[in-house]
Amino acid sequence: MKLEQSFMDFMLHHQERHKRSYNFLVLLEAIQTAAKYIQYFYQTGSLKNMMGEAGVVNCQDENVMKMDDIADSIVLHYLRRSNQVICAVTEEEPEPIRLNEDGGRYFVYYDPLDGSSNIKHNLPVGLMFAVAKKNLEGPEDGHLRSGAELRAAGIFLIPNGVFTLALADTGVFRFHLDETMTYVRPENSERLMLPEDPKNWELSFNSSNRKTFSPVVQSWIEEHEQKYAFRYMGALAGDFHRLLSNGGMFMYPAIVNHPKPDKNRPKGKLRLLYEANVAAFIAREAGGAAIDEAGNDILDIKPESPHHRTALYVGSRPLVESIKTRLRKKS
């Protein structure tokens, strides 16, 4: 009889090998439990009229979907119950949420259901999260962590049941939900690395925005698009998931040439703490890179606010380096 290695078994041995505490296990157990509940609600949501809009806008002026609300409450519930979290930042709330300020050990930044436009079609969405640890050596000032300070980041692809986890200085690993609703690691699966061979590399961006990008970005695209397939499903969680396996580059450039100037987004659209940093951290652990519109490493950006926005270019290092040279000349 063949028994797969469960996610918790993998983590237990990882923590023991690196002589680390079990607190992190408790935290990840809470997050994966939340992901399974979200998975359940997402799969059955159409039958229960739960895939539509909630009729409110969130702190970022976006229409909240009922599933966004449900997913957010689930994650927050399990983070609170874990007792491990000092403070959480969620896409759905304007301010950080204080949980266990005295006894907690971690800061968690999350997007409960990334890719909202996919919800009503039952298409892939993702729970994206990043984890940083409190300062154990000195006083803790509670500052919003940059990507370079993260200890882990992950994406649960829902409803596909695939979980990608990056651990600092360790690598990227994938787990799949089995029939018993356990995340397991397929036998002989390797640490995940972005493929160096460009034969399957892809470009992923919202092409309908193309004319709104800076001339530098537009000309880079024109020069490179013939060489690669183009894929875009409209959820960073899903697009980045695919990119990790095939290689290439996902980008959400700054919008600077919109015919309606109030629609410009010179700072970018994606949120640093729980979207860009998650992808950038996973990319780094998989041998890739990520930059913003000025060519700065995403992981080095100091967050100015919980919902700090940024442009994002993430994926295979040679492509990120190639566009970086152009962006640097521009700025």
Please state the closest distance from residue 108 (CB atom) to ligand FDP, in A: 18
Number of residues that bind ligand FDP (CB under 6 A): 11
Could you give the string, one character per residue 256-275, with x where binding to ligand FDP holds by CB under 6 A and - elsewhere? -------------xx----x
74/104 Cα distance (integer angstroms) = 19
In contact, 228 and 218? CB cutoff 8 Å: no
d(CA 48, CA 44): 7
Q: Return the range that interacts with ligand FDP (CB under 6 A); candidates 2-10, 195-203, 228-236, 294-302.
A: 228-236
Q: Write the interaction track for ligand FDP spanning residues 98-117; mark x where CB under 6 A is met and - where it is not.
A: ----------------xxxx
| 200 belongs to the binding site for ligand FDP (CB under 6 A) | no
User: Would you give the distance in Å from CA 75 to the centre of its chain?
Assistant: 15
CA–CA distance, 104 with 39 (Å, rounded to integer):
27
User: From the CB of 295, what's the least distance to ligand FDP, in Å?
Assistant: 21
Q: Rule CB under 6 A: say whether 68 interacts with ligand FDP.
A: no
Provide, rounded to whole angstroms, the least separation between the CB of residue 3 and ligand FDP.
35
> DSSP 3-state assignment of 248?
strand
Identify the residue among 236, 279, 290, 320 touching ligand FDP (CB under 6 A). 236
DSSP for residue 65: E
Contact string 2-21 vs ligand FDP (x = CB under 6 A): --------------------
Between CA 157 and CA 58, with CA 111 as vertex, the angle to 5 degrees is 130
Q: Does 195 participate in binding ligand FDP (rule CB under 6 A)? A: no
Tell the smallest beta-carbon distance from residue 261 to ligand FDP (Å). Answer: 17
Query: Among 15, 206, 245, 296, which residue sits at the site for ligand FDP (rule: CB under 6 A)?
Result: 206
- What's the CA gap between 208 and 189, in Å, rounded? 37
Q: How far is the CB of 254 from ligand FDP (least distance, A)?
A: 13
Spatial separation of the C-alpha atoms in residues 212 and 205, rounded to whole Å? 12
Q: Using the rule CB under 6 A, give the single segment among 41-49, 223-231, 232-240, 256-264 that binds ligand FDP.
A: 232-240
Is the Cβ–Cβ distance between 265 and 255 less than 8 Å?
yes
Instruction: Kindly list the distances between the CA atom of residue 247 and the CA atoms of 152, 197, 281, 310, in Å, as whole numbers in the listed order.
Output: 21, 8, 15, 22
H/E stretch holding 244:
helix 236-246
| Residue 284, H or E segment | helix 277-285
The encoded tokens of residue 268 equal 């970018």
Among 85, 235, 251, 278, binds ligand FDP (CB under 6 A): 235
Contact residues for ligand FDP, defined by CB under 6 A: 114-117, 206, 234-236, 269-270, 275
